[in-house]
Amino acid sequence: MPHRQEIPIKSFSVTAYICRVDNGVGRFLLIRRCTPYLHGTWQMVSGKIEKGEKAWEAALREIREETGLIPDRLYSTNELEMFYEVGQNCINIVPIFLGFIDSEQKVTLSPEHDNFRWVTSDDACELLSFDHQKQTVKRLEAMFVNAEPQEFLLIDIS
């Protein structure tokens, strides 16, 4: 059998959606990139896992670094992003987290972002560029806002 080149599968980053619930309506935080990579796109928090970090710890750090927020509750969503990363010739699998902001906190953006909006899932679908993100925000709303989240998905961040 001839040798075949394989595409490596890697998992080195995280995605974190941030939500607050106002009068029973989930509002998701979207931030707009102002760096050359994905310039002008609206997205949720994302970033690389640093050496020695667990994925959920990276999600908390990235949320704090990119938005200045500290979630009151953090969930593993049991959701994954999966896409081909051209620059590294790999399939990237990214765990998705969901942080809830229940307290009064002010968004402070990192230099990577120049604007933010708290939006409904419908409005998020209008702003987001990738179909997977649009589907994910709808699923997160159904599973975590419109229903009681599964207790085993809650991460102890105390």
Tell me which fold the domain 9-155 belongs to.
Nucleoside Triphosphate Pyrophosphohydrolase (3.90.79)
Q: What is the pLDDT of residues 108-153, one digit of tens each?
A: 999 999 999 999 999 999 999 999 999 999 999 999 999 999 999 9
pLDDT averaged over every residue in the chain: 95
- pLDDT reading at 4 higher than 90: no
Q: Tell me, what's the pLDDT at 96?
A: 98
pLDDT reading at 6 higher than 90: no
- Length reported for the chain: 158
The answer to whether the beta carbons of residues 135 and 152 sit under 8 Å apart is no
Domain chopping of the chain, boundaries: 9-155
Banded pLDDT at 5 (limits 50, 70, 90)? confident
Give the DSSP H or E segment for 81.
Answer: strand 73-85
The CA distance from 143 to 139, in Å, is: 6
